[in-house]
Amino acid sequence: MAFKFFMKRPGAEPKPVMKELVKADSIEKIEKKDKEVKEVKKNQVYAFIDASNLFWGGKESIGFRIDYKKLLNYLKEKHRVTKAFYYGGLRIFDFEFSILDNKDLNLTETEDHLKKMEEKVDEKDRLALQKSLNKVNFYKLLESYGYIMKIKPAKVFYSDEDEDQTMPILKANCDVDMTFDMMRYMQQYDGVVAMTGDGDFASVLSYLKAHDRGVAIVSRWDRTASEICKIAGNDFVDFEKLRGQIYLR
């Protein structure tokens, strides 16, 4: 008698029609979601720009100053790029920021913090702080052009020879962030333009190509890993050959 409540009674089972309706509704939602993903992917090309690898040293390294508005126009016109992500680092001088908050570094708030810090730092750090402010202005300019800025706080190191710590070495290590974004946005695009020559990206680019994503590389031939060149094949563009189209007059 104690188990009577749980016993099935004749005719008490739910009608199978309801189960079929629920199942059909779930399938319809999945199919609709898949359709939306496919629609989003159609004719969507994302550019991922590894600034530290490609533009390290600026004019002294590349040989000419870049007009970033022209560069973005080139990516849009030549490669049909719909979104361009720019990865770089910035020394933020104790600005409160945590990657665990899942938010991008706010450039305006960082700039306000740096300006307040100008009065507090000693002469040794004032020059470094001014460099950070200049870089913020540069990043905000790129943002105004239409780049999606993915800026990471840079860690500061000093060499053993630099006993007075007058020459800070900045490292942001954006490779992981760029790789992560390539994967997490994968369902949104059908092609990528990777602006890097770093061989560490060979695995993710090879994976994307194996999953029917077009892969083009725009990089400096003399600074591009052989694995990257092989993956790109005929879709490799030597950055040096773009000089006439993107240099800053």
pLDDT in tens, 74-129: 999 999 999 999 999 998 888 998 878 888 899 999 999 999 988 887 877 888 89
What are the C-alpha distances in Å from 64 to residues 36, 67, 231?
A: 43, 10, 27
Q: What pLDDT is recorded for position 206?
A: 97
Which CATH number is 45-246 given? 3.40.50.1010
Q: How many residues does the chain have?
A: 249
Parallel/antiparallel/unpaired status of strands 148-153 and 155-157: unpaired
Cα(139)–Cα(114) distance, integer angstroms = 15
Average pLDDT value for the chain: 82
Which tokens go with 196? 């890097």
Which has the minimum average pLDDT: 26-30, 46-50, 83-87, 170-174? Answer: 26-30
- How many other CB atoms are there within 10 angstroms of residue 201's CB atom? 24
Provide the CA 67 distance to its chain's centre, in angstroms: 20
Does the predicted model carry a pTM greater than 0.85?
A: no
Q: Which residues pair with 191 in a beta bridge?
A: 45, 214
Closest C-alpha among 181, 178, 161, 177 to residue 169: 161
